[in-house]
Structure 1
Amino acid sequence: MKIYVVQQGDSVDSIASSQGVSVEALTYDNQIEAPYRLAIGQALYIRGDDPSEDRTPLYVFGYAYPFINPENLDNTLPFLTDLYVFSYGFTENGDLVPPMADDDWMIDRALEAGVRPILTLTPLGADGRFNNNLVTTMVHNTQVQQRLIWNLGLKMQEKRFGGLDIDFEYIMADDRLAYADFVARTTEILNQFGYQVSVALAPKTSADQAGLLYEGVDYGLLGAAANRVLLMTYEWGYTFGPPMAVAPINLVRRVVEYALTEIPVYKMSLGIPNYGYDWPLPYERGVTRAETISNLEAIQIAIENGAEIQFDEEAMTPYFRYWKFGVQHEVWFEDVRSYQAKFDLIKEYGLTGAGYWQLMQFFRANWLLLSQMFEARKVGD
């Protein structure tokens, strides 16, 4: 396996010839469609030998909404251990709120592919935002917790889920201990019925990190409470923030290094983004809003606007600028180089999992690269 960066004057024919692969393999692996245009600076996955037998086993999963394109899901499932169905909410009384669309078909396809479906629990309100008041009500009321855990067990049995993921964000600082107790109680009960429980953690770099996103998240307590944790190492670059990499590797590394002081490494999965952002410039705080784009869309934007893709060696992330209708834009996204950096980090620290937010768009080069370095664990391994 190699990574090739497109130069001025390259074509799919010249690259395939110089790299010793067929045009069909090059275009298929990198999802390059006719008329086979390329962007200068575009990173391409170059197919090599078949993966070796001694690849590192890795717990691989990703979140998906029930309205995911079925073809995208089918293409992704062979690379996964678990499929996290996003998401179920809950009421102040502990009743479950189902996803916005039917998820039975996703569960069926996952099970047919030998992938374990996981119920993702979030406190999302009707407005689609995380409701920390709902979290406060639940974690301080034992009866509501009991009802919620009971309903989770029934739903998991009914739907054939194989586990639970607790994805709460913006937890109040005063709820830190009660939230950890809730995760511990849920894990203890569901483990008795063979269900794994994971918890998603905001990307902290110290125990006393300030901010609503961090203060209610205790790495040590939650790491002890759950069977597995996901470090949500993405969203440094986000919809309302200034243009920057979504998951700059230098900042991702700091989160991992702190997490390892609080959580056993065998429980830990690295969060990986499967998307990018396009910001109109100049950026104005509170006004500018970035558009979420897929990695393939980012490349097409560069091609259509004659932009040359750059690569930030500190963040280990591709980016570029372009003009459209008199407005300059800045785009940051993921490619095989940025994924390589994240996979290398997983190996360097001996992490045991990789979790993708999210699987709605299929980026084949990522999965081919992943499968060269790791072998996805299957349930029971």
Structure 2
Amino acid sequence: MTIYVVQPGDTITSIANQYGITTNRIIVDNELTNANNLLVGQSLVIQFPEISHTVVEGDTLYGIAQTYDTTPTRLLQNNPWIADTESLIPGTIVIISFRRDENFGNIVINAYAYPYIDRTVLRKTLPFLTYLSLFTYGFTPQGDLIPIDDTELIQLARDYNVAPLMVLAPMDDNGAFSNEIAHQMFTNPEGQSRLIDNILSNVQNKNYSGVDIDFEFVLPEDKEGFISFITALKNRLEPFGYIITVALAPKTSGDQPGLLYQAHDYPRIGAIADKVLLMTYEWGYTFSSPMATAPLNSVRRVLAYGSSVIDPDKILMGMPNYAYDWPLPYVRGETRAETISNVEAINRGVQYGVTIQFDEASQAPFYYYTNSDGVEHVVWFDDARSMNAKYRLIPEFNLSGAGIWQIMNYFPGMWLVVNSLFDVSKVL
């Protein structure tokens, strides 16, 4: 894999000729919609096919995999476009393998999705996943679960050998995290016991592989109650072979102040859970001043602390899959950024003819534009360069892998990096 940054005067043809590959290879791999209007500063992943297969009448994915002694999953990782097709068309080229100059070995990837995810996006993404966490079950203080429409997604995940996880979060009627609902459950032993019974029953009946606990803004006085709940749920699920993962706020020290952090005790929760997600994103967020969502320098500080007090083989580094567009000037308490996908960030850049810049400290791309109303905007997003920088932190800190929030939009640049650097572990 080579990551090429478009320079002034470049065309898709000149870039392809430079690397001795076809223009179609670059367009297909990167899913380019602006091949004839590349942006200066845009990053492209250049892949070099080693073995390819030309589809003939009667070919199937499983048959091709068997012929070349590989797996259907590997073929889907190398050819995500197959998820868009009902059958393989004769004459189509299927890449059996790409040249891999680096391979850091196996990693675990967990990703979050809402039940309404586009099914084609999901099918394209599942080959790259170990776990699929379905967001989210709520609950009442009395222990009743508030369910989601998850039956189809659980089966789809299993069809791709991806282990589905039931996400549990204390959410209010507006879909916001509620520490009051969590508090009432922590202080109601009968309700908590009933909730754990209902979780186990749901996991068994729905064919989940475990539970992902996402309790944010837990009251500091509920710290012990939170840890006791995780312990009780773990003790109930573990004998049946189910796992527990816990999402933790991005801390850089054990005594970090703030409602988001104080009840998230890294050493104790890390010792209980099978995996923990360190939510290393949202430095740049809807109401913040414009900045990268996950600046590499900030992410690194969280991982340094986390891996010092939690077994690194339990840690999943949080990975954002979205971007923000801020109107300018930024006014604290008033300005609200628009959430967009990383693909939309490029499309918007094409619309306004921008030049993409890259911040070396945060290892993230950004650009400015002025809309038709004369309002200046700045967009911070992720591309293959920023994803490459972040994913390389996994072997640097000997982490288990990554946890992606969220996969509602397919981001080719991220999956090209993953496919080039790692093999994704499967537990089913």
What is the TM-score normalised by the length of structure 2? 0.86
Match of 1:89 in 2: 138
Match of 1:79 in 2: 128
Contact 1:233 1:252 in 2 (8 A): yes
Match of 1:273 in 2: 320
Distance (Å, rounded) in 1 between the aligned partners of 2:172 and 2:17: 54
Which AA in structure 1 matches 2:214?
D
Contact 2:169 2:177 in 1 (8 A): yes
- 1:35 Cα deviation (Å)? 6.0
Match of 1:29 in 2: 29
Which AA in structure 1 matches 2:27?
T
Q: Which runs of 5+ in 2 are unaligned?
A: 49-97
Q: Name which of 46, 63, 68 aligns with 2:112.
A: 63
Q: Which runs of 5+ in 1 are unaligned?
A: none
- 1:37 Cα deviation (Å)? 2.0
For 1:253-268, what aligned pairs fall within 5 Å after superposition? 253-268=300-315
Match of 1:129 in 2: 176
SS of alignment partner, residue 247 of structure 1: coil
291-300 vs 51-60, greater mean Cα deviation: 51-60
For 1:35-46, what aligned pairs fall within 5 Å after superposition? 36-46=36-46
Q: Deviation per CA, 1:20-51: give whole Å up to 9, x if none.
A: 22111101111112663211100111113344
Match of 2:265 in 1: 218
Contact 1:181 1:225 in 2 (8 A): no
The CA RMSD over aligned residues, in Å, is: 1.3
Which AA in structure 2 matches 1:124?
M
For 1:107-118, what aligned pairs fall within 5 Å after superposition? 107-118=154-165
Which AA in structure 2 matches 1:118?
L
Q: Deviation per CA, 1:96-121: give whole Å up to 9, x if none.
A: 0012xx22111111111111111000
Distance (Å, rounded) in 1 between the aligned partners of 2:33 and 2:374: 29
Match of 1:328 in 2: 376
Contact 1:55 1:372 in 2 (8 A): no
Larger radius of gyration: 2
- 1:53 Cα deviation (Å)? 10
Contact 1:51 1:371 in 2 (8 A): no
Distance (Å, rounded) in 1 between the aligned partners of 2:46 and 2:247: 33
Considering Cα pairs closer than 8 Å and 6+ residues apart, tell me whether 1 or 2 has the greater RCO. 1
Contact 2:145 2:198 in 1 (8 A): yes
- 1:266 Cα deviation (Å)? 1.1
Distance (Å, rounded) in 2 between the aligned partners of 1:177 and 1:132: 14
51-60 vs 248-257, greater mean Cα deviation: 51-60
- 1:149 Cα deviation (Å)? 0.8
Q: Deviation per CA, 1:196-230: give whole Å up to 9, x if none.
A: 00000000111111111111111111111211100
Contact 2:102 2:421 in 1 (8 A): no
- 1:261 Cα deviation (Å)? 2.0
Distance (Å, rounded) in 2 between the aligned partners of 1:238 and 1:35: 30
Match of 2:188 in 1: 141
Match of 1:150 in 2: 197
What is the TM-score normalised by the length of structure 1? 0.97
Distance (Å, rounded) in 2 between the aligned partners of 1:350 and 1:43: 27
